[in-house]
Structure 1
Amino acid sequence: MKRTLIRGLLNVLPMALSLWLFWSLFASLDELGNLMLSLIGQHKWFTGAGFVLVVLLVFIAGLLFSVSPIAWLWSWIERQLMRFPLFKSVYGSIRDIASLMNRDPSKPKHQQTVLVKQANGGFVVGFIMTETAPQPLLDALPEGDWVPVLFQLSYQMAGITSLVKRTDLIFVDWSFEEAMRFNLTAGISTSADVSATK
């Protein structure tokens, strides 16, 4: 009885939460679009009209940013706003996350799963996110081939970036997505996949 309930929970809960998350996003964007329609004196046309309007406006913005004067103007506005420290921190973080979603699939991916040995003999799963560390850090470190390695914290998007010598890394033939899922759930996702197949 208990195992059946857990099996049902493990299969239904992720789907329910995912659908709820996407529905909440859809409803929020639809409400935003309807608010913009009301500002120009238009009433709600149909359910989803606001969402369609927001998607259309984002598409038009994408077209405009391909025009050099618009891109230059936006870049200038960004530079002016970046003078404010609080805005710089918040906007910079959001922009970096957005840029991760806009990776060019034709370009080689730098993310590599690695193992790093600890003082107690254990190993920690980490990720090489880029092949080169910033020059100020390289100038401050002893001579060697140093690589930035991200150690993801379980159950949160935060992590710790550590500089590790390349010779101290064990490269693992494991996809970034699967290894990230393993780290984020502390290995539970792998256990859930195995138990669901039994």
Structure 2
Amino acid sequence: MKKTLLRGLFNVLPLVLSIWLFWSLFESLDEVGNFLFGLVHITELFKGAGFLLILILLFVAGLLFSVSPIAWLYDFVIRQLMRFPFFKTVYSSINDIASLMSSDNKNKNQQTVLVHQANNTYIVGFIMANETPEPLSNALPDGDWVPVLFPLSYQIAGITTLVKREDLTIVDWSFEDAMRYNLTAGISVSAKDKEEKEKEKEKEKQTTDHATNEQK
């Protein structure tokens, strides 16, 4: 009974927490949108109207930032605000996380690699950029050095190590699947892997059933 209860908990908990997280985000954005409606003396139209308003404003902002004068003006304002140390620290941290999550800023050259260790073991890492900053290049011995990220389990942060490209083993593995594997130490597998395993089990079951029917 205990195992059955835990199995139900571990299967239902991720779904419940995910729904709760997205619902909380929806409620928060909806409240902000309704506050903006209130500034122009518009009462709540329907549930979710504030959320739709925020989405529309974000879409309009995206269009505006594609216009050079608007983008230049925004950059100018940010540069002025960056003169304040506290603002610079907070803004830079949030901006780095947003850039990491943005699909527009994803490095198409991200590669999954294996790095050989001294004790004849390998560690999974990721080439995040093809160039090393000039100060580091000047300090390092001659060679083609690239920054390799070794993420820490269940954390955004990780250890960045500079490794010679010739010492890396390129792996034909998608960044998302390899990152998921690394963060969970192999506990989590991709949906594609699960689907393939289920198909294999189903195929084996059909083969076994067919063999059993022929024997009968």
Q: Which residue of 1 aligns with 2:97?
A: 97
Q: Which amino acid aligns with 1:177?
A: E
Q: Which amino acid aligns with 1:74?
A: Y
Q: Which residue of 1 aligns with 2:13?
A: 13
What is the TM-score when the length of structure 2 is the normalising length? 0.80
3-state DSSP of counterpart to 1:113: strand
Give the counterpart letter for 2:45 in structure 1: W
Distance 1:93 1:74 in 2: 18
Which stretch shifts more, 85-94 or 138-147?
85-94
SS at match of 2:130: coil
Residues 85, 108 of structure 1: CA spacing in aligned structure 2 closer, same or farther, 3 A cutoff?
closer
Q: 5+ unaligned residues in a row in structure 2: which ranges?
A: 202-216
* 1:191–1:5 CA distance, 2 compared to 1 (3 A): farther
2:209 is aligned to none
Give me the identity figure in percent.
Answer: 67
Tell me the equivalent position of 1:65: 65
Matched, 1:156 2:155: yes
1:18 deviation in Å? 1.7
Which structure has more relative contact order (CA 8 Å, sep 6+)? It is 1
Aligned to 1:131: 130
Which has the larger displacement, 93-102 or 116-125?
93-102
2:177 touches 2:189 (CA, 8 Å); kept in 1? Answer: no
Shift of residue 66, structure 1, vs aligned partner: 2.2
CA contact (8 A) 1:155 1:186 kept: no
Higher alpha-carbon Rg = 2
Aligned length: 196
SS in 2 for 1:143: coil
CA contact (8 A) 2:107 2:128 kept: no
Q: Deviations over 1:8-30 (max 9, x none)?
A: 33432222222121111111100
Distance in 2 of aligned mates of 1:37 and 1:191: 42
Compute the displacement of 1:112 (Å). Answer: 0.6
- Per the TM alignment, residue 104 of structure 1 is displaced from its structure 2 partner at its CA by 4.3
Letter in 2 for 1:35: F
Whole-angstrom CA distance in 1 between matches of 2:74 and 2:158:
31
- Evaluate the alpha carbon distance shift between residue 2 and residue 117 of structure 1 in structure 2; reply closer, same or farther with a 3 A threshold: farther
Decide which moves more: 42-51 or 91-100: 91-100
Query: Is residue 107–residue 129 contact of structure 2 (8 Å, CA) maintained in 1?
Result: no
- AA at the equivalent of 1:25: L
In structure 2, C-alpha distance between the alignment counterparts of 1:95 and 1:164, rounded to whole Å? 27
Report the AA paired with residue 159 of structure 1.
Answer: G
User: What residue in structure 2 maps to residue 79 of structure 1?
Assistant: 79
